A and B are shown apart, each in its own frame.
Chain A
Amino acid sequence: SQTIHQWPATLVQPVGSPLSLECTVEGTSNPNLYWYRQAAGRGLQLLFYSVGIGQISSEVPQNLSASRPQDRQFILSSKKLLLSDSGFYLCAWRGDSDTEAFFGQGTRLTVV
């Protein structure tokens, strides 16, 4: 069966520090991968998606970037965090024939 791992679960980082969140999927090949953010009191906003290795599409301009160095690995990064980057970050995957996406457990990022 397929599983998705996302870490760390919580992270407190100072303003201006770098960020690297990692997500890996097991049990499937060539998944579509997604990064979402849930800001406090708001819905889920799509940040990036990837349909293959090295292919990244950005949905909103921001202080973040994403990379897909391997088929089942998706990384969210920032060179310098802002206070407004605080939120709950969720990684998700979907197979080509699937209609629903499956989410990881999320990372609570607090920028102080």
Chain B
Amino acid sequence: DQQVKQNSPSLSVQEGRISILNCDYTNSMFDYFLWYKKYPAEGPTFLISISSIKDKNEDGRFTVFLNKSAKHLSLHIVPSQPGDSAVYFCAASLSGSARQLTFGSGTQLTVLP
């Protein structure tokens, strides 16, 4: 059973427009959510995160929104740039000593020039 789902395997956006990447989760005990960006043949790099006590976190062009009642989070990139083209993974974690991350299946974002 997938606890974290990214239902869109791919997304294409024009340069300068907004990219919206979506993620749903099923485990209401998750208390921290993260977005990672991954280029081919590289490890994922951390992008932005949000605690379950917040509903929005912003860092430059990146904003993450959390809707706990809907068990849904989204990543907004404004404005989108060609260098943003990558696979984006959302992840969730539970409190505990290991705090391992549960990842979604990823969304390939392509920003068209």
**A residues near B, CB below 8 A?**
6, 32, 34, 36, 42-46, 49, 51, 57, 59, 88, 90, 92, 94, 96, 99-106, 108
Contacts and interface: CB of A to CB of B under 8 A. Distances in A.
B43 A103 contact: yes
Interface residues on B, range: 20 to 34
Nearest to A101: B101
A45 B32 CA distance: 18
29 contacts: A6-B43, A32-B97, A32-B98, A32-B100, A36-B103, A43-B6, A43-B89, A43-B104, A43-B105, A44-B89, A44-B101, A44-B103, A49-B98, A49-B100, A57-B98, A88-B41, A96-B97, A99-B32, A99-B34, A99-B49, A99-B93, A100-B34, A100-B46, A101-B46, A103-B44, A104-B43, A105-B42, A105-B43, A108-B41
A49 B34 CA distance: 18
A42 B34 CA distance: 18
B6 to A, nearest CB: 8
Given A99-B32, A102-B46, A106-B43, A43 B97 contact: no
A96 B96 CA distance: 9
A49 to B, nearest CB: 5
B111 to A, nearest CB: 21
Interface in B84-102: 89, 91, 93, 97-102
A90 B49 contact: no
B45 interface: yes
Contacts of B97: 32, 51, 96
Contacts of A49: 98, 100
A91 B17 CA distance: 34
Given A99-B34, A100-B34, A44 B44 contact: yes
A106 B100 contact: no
